[in-house]
Structure 1
Amino acid sequence: MNVVEIEIKGNEGVVKNPEMLKGRGQTVPYDPRFPNTNQTRNCYQNYLDFFRCQKVKGEDYEPCSWYKFAFHELCPPAWIEKWDEQRAKGIFPGRI
Protein backbone atom coordinates (compact mmCIF):
# COMPACT_ATOMS: atom_id res chain seq x y z
CA MET A 1 0.00 0.00 0.00
CA ASN A 2 1.25 3.45 -0.90
CA VAL A 3 1.90 5.80 2.03
CA VAL A 4 -0.56 8.24 0.48
CA GLU A 5 -3.44 5.78 0.64
CA ILE A 6 -5.63 4.63 3.48
CA GLU A 7 -8.08 1.75 3.68
CA ILE A 8 -11.74 2.68 3.92
CA LYS A 9 -14.32 0.32 5.35
CA GLY A 10 -16.98 -0.95 2.98
CA ASN A 11 -16.90 -1.23 -0.77
CA GLU A 12 -15.00 1.98 -1.42
CA GLY A 13 -11.56 0.34 -1.71
CA VAL A 14 -8.40 2.41 -1.33
CA VAL A 15 -8.61 6.19 -1.19
CA LYS A 16 -5.78 8.70 -1.36
CA ASN A 17 -5.31 10.84 1.72
CA PRO A 18 -4.29 14.46 1.01
CA GLU A 19 -3.95 15.27 4.73
CA MET A 20 -1.09 12.81 5.01
CA LEU A 21 0.76 14.55 2.17
CA LYS A 22 0.17 18.03 3.61
CA GLY A 23 1.57 16.92 6.95
CA ARG A 24 4.75 15.78 5.25
CA GLY A 25 5.07 18.89 3.10
CA GLN A 26 4.66 16.86 -0.09
CA THR A 27 2.72 17.62 -3.23
CA VAL A 28 0.70 15.49 -5.63
CA PRO A 29 2.50 12.24 -6.52
CA TYR A 30 3.37 11.25 -10.08
CA ASP A 31 0.38 10.39 -12.27
CA PRO A 32 1.29 8.17 -15.25
CA ARG A 33 -1.58 9.67 -17.27
CA PHE A 34 0.40 12.93 -17.40
CA PRO A 35 4.07 11.99 -17.99
CA ASN A 36 5.23 15.37 -19.28
CA THR A 37 6.71 18.19 -17.27
CA ASN A 38 3.83 20.46 -18.26
CA GLN A 39 1.07 19.67 -15.75
CA THR A 40 -1.65 21.87 -17.25
CA ARG A 41 -3.82 18.93 -18.29
CA ASN A 42 -3.32 17.27 -14.92
CA CYS A 43 -4.48 20.47 -13.22
CA TYR A 44 -7.56 20.77 -15.42
CA GLN A 45 -8.48 17.09 -15.14
CA ASN A 46 -8.34 17.17 -11.35
CA TYR A 47 -10.52 20.30 -11.34
CA LEU A 48 -13.12 18.53 -13.47
CA ASP A 49 -12.86 15.30 -11.45
CA PHE A 50 -13.49 17.13 -8.17
CA PHE A 51 -16.76 18.64 -9.34
CA ARG A 52 -17.81 15.44 -11.12
CA CYS A 53 -17.16 13.49 -7.92
CA GLN A 54 -19.24 15.94 -5.90
CA LYS A 55 -22.02 15.85 -8.48
CA VAL A 56 -22.22 12.04 -8.42
CA LYS A 57 -21.40 11.26 -4.77
CA GLY A 58 -22.54 14.45 -3.01
CA GLU A 59 -20.67 17.33 -1.47
CA ASP A 60 -19.99 15.52 1.81
CA TYR A 61 -18.21 12.56 0.18
CA GLU A 62 -14.70 12.67 1.70
CA PRO A 63 -12.70 10.91 -1.09
CA CYS A 64 -13.54 13.81 -3.43
CA SER A 65 -11.20 15.97 -1.36
CA TRP A 66 -8.22 14.28 -3.07
CA TYR A 67 -9.09 15.97 -6.37
CA LYS A 68 -9.48 19.33 -4.65
CA PHE A 69 -6.07 18.95 -3.02
CA ALA A 70 -4.54 17.96 -6.37
CA PHE A 71 -5.92 20.86 -8.39
CA HIS A 72 -5.04 23.37 -5.66
CA GLU A 73 -1.47 22.06 -5.74
CA LEU A 74 -1.17 22.00 -9.55
CA CYS A 75 -3.25 24.94 -10.79
CA PRO A 76 -2.39 28.63 -10.55
CA PRO A 77 -4.92 30.39 -8.27
CA ALA A 78 -5.94 32.74 -11.10
CA TRP A 79 -7.10 29.78 -13.20
CA ILE A 80 -9.16 28.38 -10.34
CA GLU A 81 -10.81 31.77 -9.76
CA LYS A 82 -11.56 32.13 -13.47
CA TRP A 83 -13.05 28.62 -13.72
CA ASP A 84 -15.12 29.16 -10.56
CA GLU A 85 -16.52 32.40 -12.01
CA GLN A 86 -17.30 30.65 -15.30
CA ARG A 87 -19.11 27.82 -13.48
CA ALA A 88 -21.14 30.37 -11.49
CA LYS A 89 -22.15 32.13 -14.71
CA GLY A 90 -22.90 28.84 -16.47
CA ILE A 91 -20.30 29.38 -19.19
CA PHE A 92 -17.61 26.93 -18.05
CA PRO A 93 -16.38 25.06 -21.15
CA GLY A 94 -15.70 21.73 -19.39
CA ARG A 95 -18.18 18.90 -19.00
CA ILE A 96 -18.93 18.39 -15.33
Structure 2
Amino acid sequence: MKLDAANLAAIIAMALATYATRVSGLWLLRFVRVTPRMQAALDALPVAILTAVIAPALMKGGTADILAAGVTLLAASRLPLLATVILGVSSAVLLRHLIG
Protein backbone atom coordinates (compact mmCIF):
# COMPACT_ATOMS: atom_id res chain seq x y z
CA MET A 1 0.00 0.00 0.00
CA LYS A 2 1.35 3.36 -1.00
CA LEU A 3 1.03 5.99 1.72
CA ASP A 4 -0.15 9.00 -0.22
CA ALA A 5 -2.10 11.98 1.11
CA ALA A 6 -5.51 10.36 0.62
CA ASN A 7 -4.55 7.17 2.48
CA LEU A 8 -2.96 9.15 5.30
CA ALA A 9 -6.05 11.35 5.59
CA ALA A 10 -8.27 8.25 5.74
CA ILE A 11 -6.13 6.69 8.48
CA ILE A 12 -6.17 9.90 10.52
CA ALA A 13 -9.93 10.29 10.06
CA MET A 14 -10.56 6.71 11.22
CA ALA A 15 -8.30 7.20 14.23
CA LEU A 16 -10.12 10.39 15.19
CA ALA A 17 -13.52 8.72 14.75
CA THR A 18 -12.45 5.81 16.96
CA TYR A 19 -11.09 8.16 19.61
CA ALA A 20 -14.23 10.32 19.48
CA THR A 21 -16.57 7.37 20.02
CA ARG A 22 -14.57 6.15 23.01
CA VAL A 23 -14.32 9.58 24.62
CA SER A 24 -17.96 10.44 23.96
CA GLY A 25 -19.06 7.21 25.63
CA LEU A 26 -17.06 8.03 28.74
CA TRP A 27 -18.30 11.62 28.68
CA LEU A 28 -21.95 10.53 28.36
CA LEU A 29 -21.61 8.08 31.25
CA ARG A 30 -20.79 11.01 33.54
CA PHE A 31 -24.44 12.07 33.25
CA VAL A 32 -25.95 8.62 33.82
CA ARG A 33 -26.26 6.80 37.10
CA VAL A 34 -24.85 3.35 36.45
CA THR A 35 -27.03 0.74 38.11
CA PRO A 36 -25.67 -2.69 39.06
CA ARG A 37 -27.64 -4.21 36.19
CA MET A 38 -26.15 -1.72 33.71
CA GLN A 39 -22.67 -2.38 35.11
CA ALA A 40 -23.17 -6.12 34.63
CA ALA A 41 -24.18 -5.49 31.00
CA LEU A 42 -21.13 -3.29 30.41
CA ASP A 43 -18.88 -5.92 31.99
CA ALA A 44 -20.28 -8.56 29.62
CA LEU A 45 -19.65 -6.52 26.46
CA PRO A 46 -16.04 -7.57 25.73
CA VAL A 47 -16.89 -11.26 25.80
CA ALA A 48 -20.03 -10.72 23.71
CA ILE A 49 -18.13 -8.74 21.08
CA LEU A 50 -15.34 -11.31 20.87
CA THR A 51 -17.91 -14.08 20.51
CA ALA A 52 -19.69 -12.21 17.71
CA VAL A 53 -16.41 -11.76 15.86
CA ILE A 54 -15.08 -15.29 16.37
CA ALA A 55 -18.22 -17.43 15.95
CA PRO A 56 -18.69 -16.95 12.17
CA ALA A 57 -15.02 -17.75 11.51
CA LEU A 58 -15.26 -20.83 13.72
CA MET A 59 -18.26 -22.13 11.77
CA LYS A 60 -16.26 -21.91 8.53
CA GLY A 61 -13.00 -23.07 10.09
CA GLY A 62 -11.26 -26.38 9.97
CA THR A 63 -9.86 -28.74 12.57
CA ALA A 64 -7.17 -26.30 13.73
CA ASP A 65 -9.76 -23.60 14.42
CA ILE A 66 -12.01 -25.95 16.37
CA LEU A 67 -9.08 -27.19 18.47
CA ALA A 68 -7.96 -23.60 19.11
CA ALA A 69 -11.49 -22.73 20.21
CA GLY A 70 -11.38 -25.63 22.67
CA VAL A 71 -8.07 -24.40 24.08
CA THR A 72 -9.52 -20.91 24.37
CA LEU A 73 -12.66 -22.10 26.14
CA LEU A 74 -10.59 -24.05 28.63
CA ALA A 75 -8.37 -21.02 29.21
CA ALA A 76 -11.41 -18.76 29.63
CA SER A 77 -12.60 -20.85 32.55
CA ARG A 78 -9.32 -20.33 34.41
CA LEU A 79 -7.53 -17.20 33.16
CA PRO A 80 -8.25 -13.46 32.86
CA LEU A 81 -9.61 -12.13 29.55
CA LEU A 82 -6.32 -10.75 28.22
CA ALA A 83 -4.46 -13.99 28.90
CA THR A 84 -7.29 -15.94 27.29
CA VAL A 85 -7.16 -13.81 24.13
CA ILE A 86 -3.37 -14.15 23.89
CA LEU A 87 -3.51 -17.91 24.42
CA GLY A 88 -6.39 -18.29 21.95
CA VAL A 89 -4.65 -16.36 19.18
CA SER A 90 -1.35 -18.12 19.84
CA SER A 91 -2.95 -21.56 19.76
CA ALA A 92 -4.83 -20.72 16.55
CA VAL A 93 -1.63 -19.60 14.84
CA LEU A 94 0.33 -22.62 16.05
CA LEU A 95 -2.38 -25.16 15.22
CA ARG A 96 -2.98 -23.65 11.77
CA HIS A 97 0.74 -23.91 11.12
CA LEU A 98 0.95 -27.52 12.34
CA ILE A 99 -2.35 -28.89 11.02
CA GLY A 100 -3.01 -26.58 8.12
TM more than 0.5: no
Q: Which has the larger share of strand?
A: 1
Q: TM-score, normalised by structure 2?
A: 0.29
In terms of fraction of residues, the more helix-rich structure is 2
**Bigger Rg, which one:** 2
Using CA pairs under 8 Å that are at least 6 residues apart, name the structure with larger relative contact order, 1 or 2: 1
